[in-house]
Chains A and B, each alone.
Chain A
């Protein structure tokens, strides 16, 4: 009796479903199970192994050749886990499992396609299906079919909305949950950062491993989001906002203790930090005030050259050496002044025309620096030999030993940039939620209406340029000391475009968006050395795909999400996701 009554609503739930859909719902479960099983099988089939080995394919004569193609590690382990999870989910009573399975399916597709393409390109082609053919992509094909079946099966009966959970526990338990989540996040970031290792001539497959890992992580996060768990954690972190911020900052500072704690990764992380801080500054101009700036990296350059000139480097025109904190302030102020100068045309020029004005400014800066006009930039010789920042006689370049803890060289720079990025985030967040921030957004939305509401648009637009440029200048000062050489080549148009892309890709107007976008766009070149010739091509294709399928960016502003994603607009508004996002932002910031 009870069983039937329980069943009825489940069948009655989609009364809107037509016959076709009902039929689709009937085969959904078999499709999902089949997809999961195929994925598992795919993971166990032979794959080309050079990707796994991160090196050349083993010689066919060796024993290794016969064992390695079947080893289930790395991406094959990811596939195995996805496959098992898919089978279990397909049969278990889980709410909104369609969305979870869809995310898993896309993860499987991504991993199979990425590895399949690599194997095809580097090995004998997809036609080679046995281990003895020399290159083995058969597993990729099977896993790909599994992934497609999963996606189709997940979509067949129509998707339920993402569930929202309202579990509440006592505060200490919630803190504990958050601690665990943030610790996992730290490990995940460290794993993503180091996956594939350092791209180089000796390690040409780092790109494959890294991108494949990104695909797997994307599938995992998508599944977690679809299950509503991410939303719940987001709500949790919103309730314990201060705690979350503190723990995230601590997590960011703990990165050197993970596997990312080597000199190389510390340098990569510090560079990401520089671009993240700059991207947040750009986000004020573009994301909040809606003023398109195509020459923004010039402000980073101005900050860097100012810092170089006050660093006491032999090649610097100005022979004064000032303490680093003072240099940071001076760099920020000088960059800010230039920001105000560049911003002043905004009083008269709007939209596309403004973009051209800023583009021209960026070019003027690069040409000036290249030709060493004024003798402040070293021209094509750059300004080399900038001494590292030091504190109490301790160079920031050096390794550090605290107690028995050995920290890699560059860790102090890493800590410094984490603090700088945190400060920049604070500036952005505070300004966004203020009279000034609302005025910026109002200008972005409708400049004339903003004026009619008493917003003095001229000074306020210039202020956006000024503050954005100051943040970039601050990052520039750090950049100069960290890289030790400042050359005009670091501040060309392509860098401006990449920064803009980072802001748009990540999600305009949000901190995590800018940080995530900057991280992705500045880590990828490190990993994809192998494809340096095609980097811009791939970059362009990726941007087109993202703009087509996720125009609101990876971590969209709550408002923009509602505006650009009608699909998700009818979901219960997640008031929580903003803090969660703030969390992951800081996390990514440290990366």
Chain B
């Protein structure tokens, strides 16, 4: 579609800071479907990067690759120059924590216990001391409990500490997920749509929370559809379209970039015509590939599914515009 553009000059300060997380050439294929194609970016210490793009652009797939849930088909992810292992548990140990797009708390555990599970990786407690409850055990439990209390206070959930996670209000569940991720003492935090389904006030509170997390020295990557939220939060924004980095730059640069507008709102009419002409010949073939993709991905993953829907949607758009060009023009 278009070349990934790296717009340099993300503000002098950011450039001066060392890179903590670096993805280079990450490509992820599911069968014949390419969910991510040669994605590269670097995250500096204390930086907040926003990841935006239409549904199915591969944002969550990228997160899964960064955290070891997927092994990228090619490309590497490195934390402070060391390649990350292909195992979520060990990635978390190294200091990359995440939240999930569809909240994945431990529903039948209390808020406190959820955060305690996050402490798992940092607790010094082997099975034998778990069994015997010796002084070492008590020390580590006390440390974990203290840390948990602080984290719950940090995200403002102290009053819910003994409540089952499933019973928390929606927004608080998202907050609890963040507290749980923070409990692993990450140096990089990946937030997947942290404000989905929130009202304006809650969104604002989340923004402040993310700033506070950044101030703890933790670098943050945020996936979000709310572009206003992203543009007012992030130091840098990556626009991912169909598995490729379309634009990268400061919020101002990205906001003004016509390609971003195009990716989100559709191309101006004359370009659509051009596109339709370009696509129509191999159209039948395309369809076949898409169907296969859609079936496959049901079996294994989100990212691929998103891609499938995305393609279908693009196709719908095309059809619609062919049928009613006036309307299409109006939209654009």
Contacts and interface: CB of A to CB of B under 8 A. Distances in A.
Interface of A: 427, 430-431, 434-439, 441-442, 445-446, 448-457, 463, 467, 559-560, 562-563
A141 to B, nearest CB: 45
Given A430-B133, A442-B117, A563-B166, A451 B104 contact: no
Contact of A434 (B69, B105, B125): B125
A467 B67 CA distance: 31
Q: Is the interface of B mostly helix, strand, loop or mixed?
A: helix
B88 A435 contact: no
Max count, chain A CB within 10 A of own CB: residue among B104, B108, B113, B141: B108
A164 to B, nearest CB: 16
A436 B92 contact: no
B115 to A, nearest CB: 10
B132 interface: yes
Interface in B175-190: 180-181, 184
Contacts of A463: 127
Contacts of A435: 119-120, 123, 125, 130, 140, 144
A445 B93 contact: no
Nearest to A450: B117
B109 interface: yes
B117 A431 contact: no
A438 B133 CA distance: 15
B231 interface: no
A563 B120 contact: no
Given A453-B180, A455-B89, A431 B69 contact: no
Nearest to A442: B117
A439 B125 CA distance: 12
B268 interface: no
A434 B69 CA distance: 26
Contact of A445 (B100, B109, B119, B141): B109
A455 B137 contact: no
A445 B132 contact: no
Interface residues of B, number: 42
B105 A449 contact: yes
Contacts of A441: 106, 108-109, 113
B20 interface: no
Given A453-B121, A454-B93, A430 B130 contact: yes
B164 A562 contact: yes
Nearest to A432: B130
29 contacts: A427-B131, A434-B133, A434-B141, A436-B127, A436-B130, A438-B113, A439-B117, A439-B120, A441-B113, A445-B106, A445-B107, A445-B109, A448-B88, A450-B106, A451-B88, A451-B89, A452-B98, A453-B117, A453-B120, A454-B92, A454-B93, A454-B120, A455-B89, A456-B89, A456-B90, A559-B108, A559-B110, A562-B108, A562-B167
Nearest to B110: A559
B192 to A, nearest CB: 11
Nearest to B140: A435
B116 interface: yes
The CB with the most chain A CB atoms within 10 A, among B110, B120, B132, is that of B120
Nearest to B186: A454
A455 B120 contact: yes
A124 B69 CA distance: 70
Nearest to B103: A449
B118 interface: yes
Contacts of A431: 127, 130-131
A560 B108 CA distance: 7
Nearest to A575: B162
Nearest to B113: A438
Nearest to B165: A445
A502 B184 CA distance: 37
Interface string B76-103: 0000000000011110110001101000
